[in-house]
């Protein structure tokens, strides 16, 4: 059961929706409002948000040409199981709840849902707290303020990056995840390969950071060297001016002495 607390949510694999795809799930609750599912393209434009609003199921989505809304059903917070299906076919998107369907067409020319490599995870029941400090990573920042879902969600089925055929999803629990993220789902423990991939990524980030710091240090040194060179050139220029003044002064003095000598001779 998802209990609606701050760390009550489930993280699933990315939805490989592309141009055509389906996503199915079942839910049961007695609460009229709550976020059931959210995923986006990594914070640019595209997103899918499924939530309960006063007992009705609402799908809000954007495929780059503006947000669209589909609302189906009423009194769905009756404590019974309800089935949900989202279906994508190029520009057309449909929402089915307990065999009642609504369909809407998107405007524009590009209907692909983000890119599977850069899309976000699929979040069930609520959003991770760390998004509060990184709202720019959300295509729909307001989702972070949606009330969390309280109840049961099961049989989440869709195609993911590892399977082009829709299949039942299991909660993806990273090494740092809390147990509450797997409420109502079977958790998949990370394989050694996944852990090594994470470590490799961290190592690469560390190396990149070190390289950036080194480059920054080099830039500082170059700027310092440039400043020193400029200062030296300015000092040399100043010295030249002083020498010129001294020569001029000496010349004038000599001319004066010569004039005096001539006057004495006369």
**Pair 16, 115: CB distance under 8 Å:** no
pLDDT values of the chain reduced to their tens digit, one per residue, 266 residues: 788 888 889 999 988 877 678 999 999 999 999 999 999 988 888 899 999 999 999 999 988 778 889 999 999 999 999 999 999 888 889 999 999 999 988 876 667 787 888 889 999 999 998 888 889 889 999 999 999 999 999 999 998 888 888 888 887 654 444 444 554 454 544 445 444 555 666 677 777 888 888 899 999 999 999 999 999 999 999 999 999 888 888 888 888 888 888 777 76
Pairing of strands 82-89, 92-97: antiparallel
- The upper half-sphere exposure of residue 227, i.e. CA atoms within 13 Å in the direction of its Cβ, equals 6
Burial grade of 147 (CB within 10 A; 0-12, 13-18, 19 or more): middle
User: What's residue 173's pLDDT?
Assistant: 53
pLDDT on residue 28: 94
Which tokens in the block code for residue 228? 């020193």
Long-range contacts (CB closer than 8 Å, 24 or more residues apart) made by 103-106: 103/70, 104/68, 104/70, 106/63, 106/65, 106/68
**For residue 9, which of 35, 32, 29 has the smallest C-alpha distance?**
35
* Distances in whole angstroms, Cα of residue 27 to Cα of each of 35, 73, 140, 183, 216: 11, 13, 23, 13, 53
- Burial string for 76-109 (b: 16+ CB within 10 Å, else e) reads bbeeeebebbbbbeebebbbbbeeeebeeebeee
Q: Return the number of other C-beta atoms located less than 10 Å from residue 22's C-beta.
A: 17
C-alpha 99/C-alpha 82 separation (Å) is 10
């Amino acid at each position: 059961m998802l209990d609606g607390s701050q760390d009550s949510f489930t993280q699933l694999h990315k939805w490989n929706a592309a141009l055509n795809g389906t996503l199915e799930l079942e839910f049961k609750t007695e609460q009229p409002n709550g976020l059931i599912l959210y995923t986006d393209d990594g914070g640019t434009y595209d997103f899918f948000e499924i939530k309960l609003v006063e007992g009705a199921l609402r799908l809000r989505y954007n495929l780059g040409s503006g947000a669209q809304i589909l609302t189906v059903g009423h009194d769905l917070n009756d404590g019974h199981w309800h089935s949900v299906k989202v279906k994508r076919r190029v520009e057309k998107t449909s929402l089915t709840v307990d065999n009642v369907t609504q369909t809407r067409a998107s405007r524009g020319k590009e209907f692909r849902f983000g890119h599977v490599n850069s899309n976000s995870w699929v979040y069930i029941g609520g959003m991770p707290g760390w998004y509060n400090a990184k709202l720019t990573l959300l295509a729909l920042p307001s989702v972070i303020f949606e009330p969390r879902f309280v109840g049961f969600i099961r049989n989440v089925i869709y195609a993911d990056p590892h399977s082009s055929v829709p299949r039942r999803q299991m909660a993806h629990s990273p090494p740092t995840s809390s147990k509450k993220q797997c409420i109502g789902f079977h958790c998949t423990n990370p394989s050694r390969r996944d852990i090594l991939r994470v470590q490799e990524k961290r190592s690469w980030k560390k190396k990149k950071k070190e390289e950036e710091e080194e480059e920054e240090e080099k830039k500082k040194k170059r700027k310092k060297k440039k400043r020193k060179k400029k200062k030296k050139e300015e000092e040399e220029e100043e010295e030249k001016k002083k020498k010129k003044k001294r020569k001029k002064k000496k010349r004038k003095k000599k001319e004066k002495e010569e004039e005096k000598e001539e006057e004495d001779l006369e």
